[in-house]
């Protein structure tokens, strides 16, 4: 399962994490977000120890999505050492996400 992050712990859980971190910015009312949920959880299990996978509910947390210019959901952002390495918006395939990670990490 993906870790749930909030505005309160975003810096410690994502920006200061030693591993690369993939964050799924989502909302419960978003159909494509719900469709991506199982894929994000599968990636969290498959990439354990290589990449930390997190989810952030944009309805409950507004500061972090605003800080990173999230205008549409789902948006996936790959962070490493506090920096944005890559991002994608919209429902994408599991293989596309894995390719994005493989190219940057």
54 flagged as catalytic: no
Looking up tokens 């494509």 gives 32
Residue in 15, 19, 27, 30 annotated catalytic: 30
Per-residue pLDDT at 105: 85
DSSP count for the chain of H helices, then E strands: 4, 5
17 flagged as catalytic: no
Residue 94 near residue 38, CB atoms below 8 Å: no
| Confidence at 14, pLDDT banded by 50, 70, 90 | very high
The chain-wide mean pLDDT, for the chain, equals 97
Residue 74 near residue 26, CB atoms below 8 Å: yes
Q: What is the pLDDT of residues 30-56, one digit of tens each?
A: 999 999 999 999 999 999 999 999 999
pTM to 2 decimal places = 0.97
Residue in 22, 33, 70, 73 annotated catalytic: 33
Q: What is the pLDDT of residues 65-83, one digit of tens each?
A: 999 999 999 999 999 999 9
């Amino acid at each position: 399962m993906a870790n749930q992050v909030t505005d309160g712990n975003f810096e410690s859980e994502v920006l200061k994490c030693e591993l690369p971190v993939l964050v799924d910015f989502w909302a419960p009312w978003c159909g494509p977000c719900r469709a991506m949920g199982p894929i994000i959880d599968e990636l969290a299990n498959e990439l354990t120890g290589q990449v930390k996978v997190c989810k952030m509910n944009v309805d409950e947390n507004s500061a972090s999505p605003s800080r990173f210019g999230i205008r549409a959901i789902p948006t996936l952002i790959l962070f490493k050492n506090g920096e944005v390495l890559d991002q994608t918006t919209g429902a994408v395939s599991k293989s596309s996400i894995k390719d994005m990670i493989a190219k940057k990490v």
